[in-house]
Amino acid sequence: MFETKSEVMVRFSLFGDEFPIDFVTEQLGIEPTATYKKGEILAKADKGFRTRYRKESCWELSSGYQTSFDAGEQMNQVLEPLKSKTALINNLKAQFNLDCKIFVVIVIKNGDTPALGPDLAQVEFAYLVGAEFDTDLYAWPYEEEDTHL
């Protein structure tokens, strides 16, 4: 298989104004990879910038950054544990006025572009829970060959 240095990260986020994150974790039966609450410090004041605070609360499940040539692999890692919980996710969304998104972040290095297209099962899950896809692409420059050898 072709080796790539490019990286992919996928995360599913449930977010809203304020909600009981521990209750959501208990109901889903899945430990989140990250959480934060509205009002927590996002960035402390530094060199003329003011302190910024979280504007919402969030529960998320993430693959973390992984070397990959197919974002579908990371999408499956994150979405597979959630697929049987669509009704529960929708109940939590309704109960706490939450939204959800599937974030896909691709860091392209040296022109090695991972595949991006979600498969039908991934699209169906997103549809069933009303999740939007949010995709970010970061392209790093090609490594230049050393012509002085």
Q: Which tokens in the block code for residue 12?
A: 């599913």
- Which runs of consecutive H residues, i.e. helices, occur in 34-117? 71-79, 86-96
Three-state DSSP class for residue 19:
coil
Strand-pairing partners, residue 130, are none
- What is the pLDDT of the chain when averaged over all its residues? 90
So what's the pLDDT on residue 142? 66
Percent of the chain with pLDDT over 90: 70
Nearest CA to 73 among 8, 136, 5?
8
Please, which pLDDT band fits residue 116 given cuts at 50, 70 and 90?
confident
The one-letter amino acid code at 90 reads N
> How far is Cα 37 from Cα 23, in angstroms, rounded to an integer?
13
Strand-pairing partners, residue 34, are 60
> How far is Cα 143 from Cα 106, in angstroms, rounded to an integer?
18
Give the tens place of pLDDT for each residue, 25-53.
Answer: 999 999 999 999 999 888 887 777 888 89
pLDDT at 14 over 70: yes
Three-state DSSP class for residue 23:
helix
* Mean pLDDT computed over 3-19: 90
